Structure 1
Amino acid sequence: MSDPTPPKIEFPCPGYIIRVMGESSEHFRAHVVEVFTRHAPDFDRDAMKIRPSRNGRFESVNVVITATGVTQLEAIFVDLKKHPAVQMVL
């Protein structure tokens, strides 16, 4: 049988990817950048990947950070979800 406990993340964790999905707009993207600038100021904006949905109404933004701890990740998720255009954070 497999162990139901998810693997533990060791911090710092370079290359940690967070995907934010939301309504396609400049305000949505600006919010994502603002949150990551606050909580992970060393993230590489140029490495962000933005993928539009098939109809262009939504988009996903992948951001790669060096995760420093659970507290940082929780703060990122909470702050991202505060914007009404954000649909999901993974």
Structure 2
Amino acid sequence: MTQEFSHDEEPQEDLFNFPCEFPIKAMGKTVDGFAQTILDIVLKHAPDFNAGTMEMRTSREGKYLSVTCTIRAVSRDQLDNLYRELSAHPLVVMVL
């Protein structure tokens, strides 16, 4: 049996089986409030995230800080919205 798609619709295959554990890392300059800002955004999209599991690492010279939050992702939309909001924040240099 073959699947037919209109020209507007392409088959979409998710790489993840939801729900799943998903690490998201945000990096920015080491400034007061950076980690709290990231935590606030993460909690907006993943209210069950345990802040105690947040990992922080500074760069060798201390200029940059990376914050990793492993959330319980429930949908692709959730991840996309979280990524968009983190990426758009002026304190965030990069999101992985």
TM interval, shorter chain, is 0.7 to 0.9
Distance 1:9 1:26 in 2: 34
Identity of aligned residues (%): 36
8 Å CA contact retained: 1:12, 1:68 = yes
SS at match of 1:59: strand
Q: Tell me the CA shift for residue 82 of structure 1.
A: 1.9
TM-score after normalising by structure 2: 0.81
Structure 2, gaps ≥5 residues long: 1-12
Number of equivalenced pairs: 84
Deviations 1:27-82 (A, max 9, x none): 32122011111100111111101000011110111101100111000110111112
Question: TM-score with structure 1 length normalisation?
Answer: 0.85
* Structure 2 residue corresponding to 1:9, chosen from 13, 16, 21: 16
CA RMSD, Structure 1 to Structure 2 (Å): 1.5
Check the 8 A contact 1:31/1:83 in 2, yes or no.
no
Runs of at least 4 residues of structure 1 off by over 4 A? Answer: none
Aligned to 2:40: 34
Structure whose alpha-carbon radius of gyration is higher: 2
Matched ranges for 1:1-90 at <5 A: 8-13=15-20, 15-90=21-96
* Structure 1, unpaired ranges of 5+: 1-5
Q: Distance in 2 between matches of 1:7 and 1:37?
A: 24
